[in-house]
């Protein structure tokens, strides 16, 4: 089963939930898809054994063949290629690698070269097969790194995907194809507002989902009310607690710091399986 953990609002506890859930399942595969700011391994502490660059292709114009007709730049939707009277400029970080420029070039002047936009690292810890992606600093597009991570999903295993915050392309790329999505929120005005946006996204993608309320007790009951009205299952509540916050600040998964939570996360997994079966 592929379980993704997402949120809308950042900092609600996605990585906390994903890490503790992965640790409480036997033989899980755990993939941190928040390639802009991956934090799962701050908690998991898997020793990284291998690393691989994520490569994308960008046009490499053969200036001997090019006659500066401008058809490529006219076609490119991303302004990634510009033609001036006697030169062609390629802006690699804007290129989506669609190959349109090659198709429209009448002189076959477009070749392709590879460039690295990030890397994927792999390690193991306590039986967990762990991967995360790192977008290179200054790089715009996270999608190719997330796509490369998603190719590593092993459907024979229980797979936990830690999603980035937000509701747009990197989130959709991460949670697309999941069997179940856990939305982590907090009982505040911001938490509720962004939860509603996240609910719209998972509904659009037709993914079964439930909610975890983190920092329960910090705010008001409007998240509870919303979930009840919408008949969204509340899978778990994690109390607002200084002990949990301090363990978090030190990078300690709180099922290790507070052992009774190990059972709660094992139960969470059972609840998700049951909800998915409905």
Partner 1 sequence: MKQLTVISGKGGTGKTSITAAFASLAKNAVFADCDVDAADLHLILKPKIIKTMQFHGLKRAVVDKDTCIDCKKCYDHCVFGAIDEGINIITESCEGCGVCEYVCPVDAIQMVDRDSGYAYLSETRFGPMAHAALNTAEEASGKLVTVVRNNAIELAENNNKNLIIIDGPPGIGCPVIASITDVDLVLIVTEPTLSAIHDLERILGVAKHFDVPAIVCINKYDINIDNTQNIKQYCLKNNIEIVGELPYDVNVTKAMINEKTIVEFSDDDLSKKIKKMWGEIEEILIK
If binding is defined by CB under 8 A, does position 114 make contact with partner 1?
no
Q: How far apart are CA 266 and CA 243, in angstroms?
A: 21
Nearer to partner 1, 52 or 147 (CB): 147
Q: Based on the shown chain and the rule CB under 8 A, indicate whether residue 230 belongs to the binding site for partner 1.
A: no
Q: Does 151 bind partner 1 (CB under 8 A)?
A: no
Q: Does 164 engage in binding with partner 1 (CB under 8 A)? A: yes
Q: Which stretch binds partner 1 (CB under 8 A): 154-162, 190-198, 254-262, 265-273?
A: 190-198
DSSP the chain: -EEEEE-BSTTSSHHHHHHHHHHHSTT-EEEE---SS--HHHHH-PEEEEEEEEEEEEEEE-TTT-----HHHHH-TT--EEEETTEEEE-GGG-----HHHHH-TT--EEEEEEEEEEEEEEEETTEEEEEEEEPTT----HHHHHHHHTT--TTS-EEEEPPSBSSHHHHHHHTT-SEEEEEE-SSHHHHHHHHHHHHHHHHTT-EEEEEEEEETSS-SHHHHHHHHTT--EEEEEE--HHHHHHHHTT--HHHHSTHHHHHHHHHHHHHHHHHH-
Q: Which among 140-148, 153-161, 231-239, 267-275 is the span making contact with partner 1, rule CB under 8 A? A: 140-148
Instruction: Output the smallest distance, CB 43 to partner 1, in A.
Output: 8
Interacting span for partner 1 (CB under 8 A) from 21-29, 34-42, 154-162, 261-269: 34-42
| Number of residues that make up the chain | 278
Say which residues have a Cβ less than 8 Å from residue 227's Cβ, sequence separation at least 6.
Answer: 211, 233, 234
Note whether 60 and 112 are within 8 A (CB): yes
Q: Which is nearer to partner 1, 151 or 278 (CB)?
A: 151
Cα 214 to Cα 111: distance, rounded to the nearest angstrom: 51
Site string for partner 1, 44-83 (x = CB under 8 A): -------------------------------x-xx-----
Task: Please state the closest distance from residue 220 (CB atom) to partner 1, in A.
Answer: 6
Binding residue for partner 1, selected from 22, 105, 109, 172, defined by CB under 8 A: 172
**Binding-residue pattern over the window 200 to 229 for partner 1, x denoting contact by CB under 8 A:** xx--xx------------xxx---------
Q: Is 242 in the site for partner 1 (CB under 8 A)?
A: yes
> In the range 259-278, which residues lie near partner 1 by CB under 8 A?
none
Residue 188 touching partner 1 (CB under 8 A): yes
Number of residues that bind partner 1 (CB under 8 A): 58
Taking the complex as a whole, how short is the minimal distance between the CB of residue 59 and partner 1, in angstroms? 13
Interface with partner 1 (CB under 8 A): 8-12, 15, 34, 36-37, 39, 42, 75, 77-78, 96-100, 103-104, 135, 137-142, 164-172, 176, 188-190, 193-194, 197, 200-201, 204-205, 218-220, 242, 245-246, 248-251
């Amino acid at each position: 089963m592929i379980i993704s953990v997402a949120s809308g609002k950042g900092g609600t506890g996605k990585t906390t939930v994903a890490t503790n859930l992965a640790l409480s399942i036997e033989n899980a595969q755990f993939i941190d898809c928040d390639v802009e700011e991956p934090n799962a391994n701050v908690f998991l502490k898997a020793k990284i054994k291998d690393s691989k660059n994520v490569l994308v292709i960008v046009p490499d114009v053969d200036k001997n063949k090019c006659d500066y007709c401008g058809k490529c730049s006219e076609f490119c939707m991303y302004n990634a290629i510009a033609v001036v009277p006697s030169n062609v400029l390629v802006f690699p970080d804007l290129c989506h690698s669609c190959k349109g420029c090659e198709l429209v070039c009448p002189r076959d002047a477009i070749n392709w070269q590879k460039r690295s936009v990030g890397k994927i690292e792999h390690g193991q810890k306590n039986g967990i097969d762990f991967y995360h992606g790192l977008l290179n600093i200054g790089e715009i597009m996270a999608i190719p790194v997330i796509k490369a991570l998603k190719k590593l999903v092993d459907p024979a295993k229980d797979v936990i995907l830690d999603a980035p915050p937000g509701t747009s392309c990197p989130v959709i790329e991460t949670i697309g194809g999941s069997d179940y999505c856990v939305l982590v929120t907090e009982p505040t005005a911001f938490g509720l507002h962004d939860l509603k946006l996240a609910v719209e996204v998972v509904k659009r993608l037709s993914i079964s989902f439930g909610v975890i309320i983190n920092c329960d007790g910090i705010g008001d009951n409007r998240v509870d009310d919303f979930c009840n009205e919408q008949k969204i299952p509340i899978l778990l509540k994690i109390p607002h607690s200084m002990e949990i916050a301090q363990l978090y600040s030190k990078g300690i998964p709180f099922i290790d710091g507070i052992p009774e939570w190990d059972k709660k996360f094992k139960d969470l997994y059972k609840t998700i399986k049951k909800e998915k079966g409905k």
